[in-house]
Amino acid sequence: GKKLGYTFNNRNFHNVSLGQGQEVVAEQALDLAAKEGHWVILQNIHLVAKWLSSLEKKLEQHSEGSHQDFRVFISAEPAPSPDSHIIPQGILENSIKITNEAPTGMHANLHKALDNFNQDTLEMCTRENEFKSILFALCYFHALVAERRKFGPQGWNRSYPFNAGDLTISVNVLYNYLEASSKVPYDDLRYLFGEIMYGGHITDDWDRRLCRTYLEEFIKPEMLEGELLLAPGFPLPGNMDYNGYHQYIDDALPPESPYLYGLHPNAEIGFLTQTSEKLFRTVLEMQPRDASTGEGGVVTREEMVKALLEEVLEKLMDEFNIAELMAKVEERTPYTVVAFQECERMNILTSEIKRSLKELDLGLKGELTMTSDMENLQNALFLDTVPESWIKRAYPSAASLGTWFADLLTRIKELEAWTGDFSLPSAVWLAGFFNPQSFLTAIMQSTARKNEWPLDKMTLQCDVTKKNREDFASPPREGAYVHGFFMEGARWDAQTGIITDARLKELTPAMPVIFIKAIPADKQDIRSMYPCPVYKTRQRGPTYVWTFNLKTRENPSKWVLAGVALLLQI
């Protein structure tokens, strides 16, 4: 601050990091600084939500009559969602706001990764060629894992705080290992980077597999033979000086696209669609609460909600009579146990839907006092979202209320058909279950009983058929035909029976019926297979169900990087 004639020394500069009861210290610093004309830096104010109104009053109090050199700098982390915006309006309105946006795109991120080093770094290792090659590959890897987050769950199942420290420590480890060993210990290096430095942040097994696969593609002996591609059209550069590498990025890196990450261009369509849907949802929530009709008449919010409420109550079937159903069953097979569990879960959900809607109905008629729960239910119905108390008792779903309710009725019909005579449907709609795992486990249990095999030594084999559900008239002798899968990140070629590249703009093509049967684990064929995760929804992550081995002619790593998965609903 020399230009302002302001010189720093520790007496006129107060730096307070908030959290752990530092609020009193901050208030004392503000009082002293206002009198003496000092600067105060308050860091991490997002950690002290309750104190922010006191801070607002304190700043207002000092806004008049304080020293002309008095300044306050405040820093906070960005809030994860709009409902956690806690900084008071008064502070925001009276301050100059600066945001530090992380760079976007591979181009900016790769330059930024390289900026952590300089010419001296490149010269510090006696094994210059190997060191520089692996350092550049690590910079690409670092930029890639950070920027892949923008593709949502198809990028990473969960979001991780990868940071520059991960990269610089990895380069130190690389230096120490190269200096200490006569040949490049590729396996050790990949393990240290992928399982410890970067892997230390990763909590999901599929994300760990993705991280490991990137490193297997980038850090291997071929990198020194000049034939390694970091992305299509972007070879690993040879030996250059520091500025040469920056220049190489500008000259050689193809324009930003999902291909730079090993993803299919559809991944971008998916993430842009979700971003715009979020925007429209937010705009909708800000709308005035009464909707006018074309004739100039106004349909009040209450009338809309009441009509919807009556429609739902009218269409919802009665609960399953479990005792009556149990009386029909001669023997309790693993499948009938699943059917009963599903009926019980469905009863809990439908009775809550009826209870909450009847309560709201009485509230709208003025026969009951409106509670906050009833208000929330009314808002949800008006905004076409699934109410909170229903979500809690339901299954993961990202659908709007209309779609969700139609889906619920289909689920009930499927259960009714199955519990009609308890014979297994010719093709089972796996997505219709609260707990699809329990049905897949039942396939193993019934085969194990029939053949007297130990359950823990078994696995599921899935053969993708060439047919759709209508083509099956009866279930198989062993196992089950299941339908209702969609593939994201690639598509299934029914003719050749392998995974293949997706077609542009076909984001989640439907799969044919899959024949699932249980076999002894040592009999399974794992050659030319891609272990494909199955999820309930596009949110992936916690909605994981099972792993199906799917045939592939190409290297399975291709489908790992493309984030290929099977989804039960889209």
* Residue 96 burial class via C-beta count within 10 angstroms: exposed 0-12, middle 13-18, buried 19 and up: exposed
Clarify whether residues 115 and 255 are in a common domain: yes
The CATH number covering residue 510 comes to 3.10.490.20
CA distance 58 to 54: 6
The answer for residues whose C-beta is within 8 angstroms of residue 51's C-beta and 6 or more apart is: 18, 23
261 within some domain? yes
Q: What is the pLDDT of residue 229?
A: 93
290 within some domain? no
Clarify whether residues 369 and 490 are in a common domain: no
End-to-end CA distance of the chain: 56
Clarify whether residues 120 and 68 are in a common domain: no
Clarify whether residues 119 and 261 are in a common domain: yes
CA distance 38 to 61: 16
278 within some domain? no
Q: What is the pLDDT of residue 1?
A: 41
291 within some domain? no
Clarify whether residues 318 and 448 are in a common domain: no
Please choose, from the candidates 428, 518, 422, 519, the residue with its C-alpha nearest in 3D space to the C-alpha of residue 479.
518
Structure tokens at 434: 């609260």
Q: Is 459 helix (H, G, I), strand (E, B) or coil?
A: strand
Q: What is the pLDDT of residue 199?
A: 93
β-sheet bridge partners, residue 483: 429
CA distance 336 to 260: 49
Task: Cite the DSSP H helix spans in 233-384.
Answer: 242-252, 266-285, 301-315, 322-328, 334-365, 372-383
Clarify whether residues 123 and 245 are in a common domain: yes
Q: What is the pLDDT of residue 563?
A: 96
Structure tokens at 122: 């490149």
Among 94, 121, 147, which residue terminates a domain? Answer: 94
Task: Cite the DSSP H helix spans in 20-84.
Answer: 23-36, 52-62
Structure tokens at 94: 């009276």
Clarify whether residues 119 and 244 are in a common domain: yes
Residue 537 near residue 190 (C-beta atoms within 8 A): no
Which residues in 385-423 are b (16+ Cβ under 10 Å) and which e?
bbbebbeebbbbbbbebeebbebbeebbebbeebbeebe
Q: Please spell the DSSP secondary structure of 102-170, one letter per residue.
A: PP-HHHHHHHHHHTT--HHHHHS-SSHHHHHHHHHHHHHHHHHHHHGGGGGGGT-SS-----HHHHHHH
167 within some domain? yes
Q: Which whole-number Å values give the CA distances from 219 to 33, 87, 112, 171, 565, in the listed order?
A: 54, 45, 21, 13, 25
The CATH number covering residue 182 comes to 1.10.8.720
285 within some domain? no
Name the residue with tokens 């919010």: 301
Q: Please spell the DSSP secondary structure of 515-530, one letter per residue.
A: EEEEEEGGG---TTEE
CA distance 211 to 194: 6
Among 74, 94, 114, which residue terminates a domain? Answer: 94
- Split into its structural domains, the chain has a count of 4
Clarify whether residues 414 and 446 are in a common domain: no
What does each of the 570 residues of the chain score in pLDDT, given as a tens digit? 445 555 555 567 888 888 778 888 899 999 998 998 889 999 888 888 888 889 999 898 888 888 888 899 998 887 767 677 788 888 888 888 888 776 788 999 999 999 999 999 999 999 999 999 999 999 999 999 999 998 999 999 998 989 999 999 999 999 999 999 889 999 999 999 999 999 999 999 999 999 999 999 999 998 888 789 999 999 999 999 999 999 999 999 999 999 999 999 999 988 888 888 888 888 887 777 655 544 555 668 888 889 998 999 999 888 899 888 888 888 888 999 999 999 999 999 999 999 999 999 999 988 989 898 999 999 999 889 999 999 999 999 988 999 999 999 999 999 999 998 888 899 999 999 999 999 999 999 999 888 888 888 899 999 999 999 899 999 998 999 999 999 999 999 999 999 999 999 999 999 999 999 999 988 888 789 999 999 999 999 999 999 999 999 999 999 999 999 999 998
Clarify whether residues 521 and 450 are in a common domain: yes
Q: What is the pLDDT of residue 4?
A: 52
Range of the domain at 192: 106-265
Clarify whether residues 376 and 437 are in a common domain: no
283 within some domain? no
CA distance 389 to 353: 8
Q: Please spell the DSSP secondary structure of 464-523, one letter per residue.
A: E-S--GGG-SS--SSSEEEE--EEESSEEETTTTEEEPPPTT--SPBP--EEEEEEEGGG
Q: What is the pLDDT of residue 275?
A: 83
Clarify whether residues 412 and 438 are in a common domain: no
Residue 552 near residue 530 (C-beta atoms within 8 A): yes
Q: What is the pLDDT of residue 235?
A: 94
Strands (E), 187-297: 229-231, 234-235, 291-292
Name the residue with tokens 């500069």: 13
288 within some domain? no
Among 396, 423, 450, which residue terminates a domain? Answer: 423
Determine phi and psi for 423, rounding to 5 degrees.
-90, 140
Clarify whether residues 218 and 311 are in a common domain: no
